[in-house]
Structure 1
Amino acid sequence: MENNAVISIEQVIDYIENHLSEKIDLETVSTTVNYSKYHLHRMFTETVGLTIHDYVQRRQLTEAAKLLVFSDKPIIEIAFICGYESQQSFTTAFTAMYKTSPAQYRDKQEFYPLLLQVVIHNKKVNTTLTKNNIRFATIEDIPSWMELLRLVVDGYPVLDETDYLHKLKICIQNKQALVLKDGDLLIGALAFSIPPCCIEFLGIHPQYRKRGIQKFFLDALIEDYYPEQDICITTYRKGDRADTGYRKELQKLGFAERELLIEFGYPTQRFVLTAKCSETNDKRLSSNKTEI
Structure 2
Amino acid sequence: MRIEVGTEQDVDSWMNLVEKVKNAFPGLETEEALKEHRNTVLDFISKDSAICAKEQEEIVGVLLFSKENNVLCFLAVDPEHRRKYIAEKMVSYMLTKMNPQSDISVTTYREGVPEGIAARAFYKRIGFSEGKLTEEFGSPVQEFVLKRQSLSLEN
Per the normalisation by structure 1, the TM-score is: 0.48
Give the match's secondary structure for 2:39: helix
Instruction: Tell me, in whole angstroms, the C-alpha distance in 2 between the residues paired with 1:274 and 1:152.
Output: 28
Unaligned runs of 5+ in 2: none
Q: Does residue 20 of structure 2 align to residue 146 of structure 1?
A: no
Q: What amino acid is aligned across from residue 150 of structure 2 in structure 1?
A: E
Structure 2 equivalent of residue 156 of structure 1: 25
* Pairing partner for 1:273 from 131, 137, 146: 146
Task: Provide the secondary structure at the position in 1 that maps to 2:115.
Answer: coil
Deviation at 1:190, TM superposition (A): 0.8
Once residues 189 and 214 of structure 1 are traced to their aligned partners in structure 2, the CA distance between those partners, rounded to angstroms, is 8
CA distance in 2, matches of 1:156, 1:190: 13
Unaligned runs of 5+ in 1: 1-128, 284-292
Query: Higher helix share goes to which structure?
Result: 1
Q: Distance in 1 between matches of 2:4 and 2:152?
A: 31
One-letter identity of the residue aligned with 2:18: L
**Which one of 247, 260, 263 corresponds to residue 136 of structure 2?**
263
Residue 189 (str. 1) matches residue 62 (str. 2):
yes
Q: Quick one: structure 1 residues 251 and 183, their matched pair in 2 at CA, closer, same or farther if it must change by over 3 Å?
A: same
Structure 1 residues 165-210: Cα deviation after superposition (integer angstroms, max 9, x where no partner): 1211110111110111100211111111132211111111112210
RMSD: 1.9
Comparing both structures, which one devotes a greater share of its residues to strand?
2
Structure 1 ranges of 4+ moved more than 3 A: 280-283
Find 2:46's aligned residue among 173, 184, 196: 173
Q: 1:136 offset after TM fit, Å?
A: 1.2
What aligned pairs does 1:1-292 form with structure 2 within 5 A after superposition?
129=1, 133-159=2-28, 160-222=33-95, 224-228=96-100, 229-275=102-148, 278-280=149-151
Counterparts of 1:165 and 1:280 in 2: how far apart (Å)?
Answer: 34
Secondary structure of 2:124's aligned partner: helix
> What percentage of residue pairs aligned between the two structures are identical?
28
